[in-house]
C-alpha cells in the first residue's frame, strides 16, 4: 500500500511540475541593432537555435523564417505593406536580418518571426483552443 502511494505521489508530482513549467515568458526578443542598420533576434532556445542553423545554412527556406514589412504611415496613400528583402546571418546565439536597402527613419516595420512558433501549449490543449496553423510572433519596430 505504501509503495503504491509513493509511486502515485511521485507520478503526480512529476505531472504537476511538467504542466507548471511554461516557456511563455521566454519568447525571442526582436529589436533593432544599436546602429539601427539591422534587426536582431535574441533569446532563442537551444532546440530552436539548432533548427535555425539548419535553415540559415541550407538557405532554401530561410526567407520564410522571418519577414520584415514596411508598414504604411497614417498619411501614406500606400495602403499595403511592402516586404523588405535582406540577408539572414547567425552570429553566436542571435539571428540578424540585414536589409538590402537601409531602414528609413520615422517608419514602422512589422517583423513576423516563426522562430519557436507553436500550434499551442498545454493551456490551449486543456482549454480546447488549439489552432490548425502556426502563429508567428509579431513585433512592430519604429526606426
Helices (H), 45-121: 46-58
| 27-39 per-position pLDDT tens digit | 899 999 999 999 9
The verdict on residue 20 lying in a domain is no
Instruction: Evaluate if pTM is beyond 0.85.
Output: no
Integer Rg of the chain from CA: 20
Closest CA to 143 of 43, 64, 66, 34: 34
Q: Give me the domain span that covers residue 40.
A: 25-142
Q: Which residues contact 66 (CB under 8 A, 6 or more apart)?
A: 41, 88, 95, 97, 111, 112, 113, 114, 115
The verdict on residue 18 lying in a domain is no
d(CA 117, CA 133): 10
Cell 540559415 belongs to 56
Closest CA to 56 of 90, 11, 33, 107: 90
| 71-121 per-position pLDDT tens digit | 887 666 666 788 999 988 888 888 999 999 999 888 899 999 888 776 666
Which CATH number belongs to the domain containing residue 88 in this structure?
2.60.40
The verdict on residue 35 lying in a domain is yes
The verdict on residue 54 lying in a domain is yes
Number of domains in the chain: 1
Amino acid at each position: 500500500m505504501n509503495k503504491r502511494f509513493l509511486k502515485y505521489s511521485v507520478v503526480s508530482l512529476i505531472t504537476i511540475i511538467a504542466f507548471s513549467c511554461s516557456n511563455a515568458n521566454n519568447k525571442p526578443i526582436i529589436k533593432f541593432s544599436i546602429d539601427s542598420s539591422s534587426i536582431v533576434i535574441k533569446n532563442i532556445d537551444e532546440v530552436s537555435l539548432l533548427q535555425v542553423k539548419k535553415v540559415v545554412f541550407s538557405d532554401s527556406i530561410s526567407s520564410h523564417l522571418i519577414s520584415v514589412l514596411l508598414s504604411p504611415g497614417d498619411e501614406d496613400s500606400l495602403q499595403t505593406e511592402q516586404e523588405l528583402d535582406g540577408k539572414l546571418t547567425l552570429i553566436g546565439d542571435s539571428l540578424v536580418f540585414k536589409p538590402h536597402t537601409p531602414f528609413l527613419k520615422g517608419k514602422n516595420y512589422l517583423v513576423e518571426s516563426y522562430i519557436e512558433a507553436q500550434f499551442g501549449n498545454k493551456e490551449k490543449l486543456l482549454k480546447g483552443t488549439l489552432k490548425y496553423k502556426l502563429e508567428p510572433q509579431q513585433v512592430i519596430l519604429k526606426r
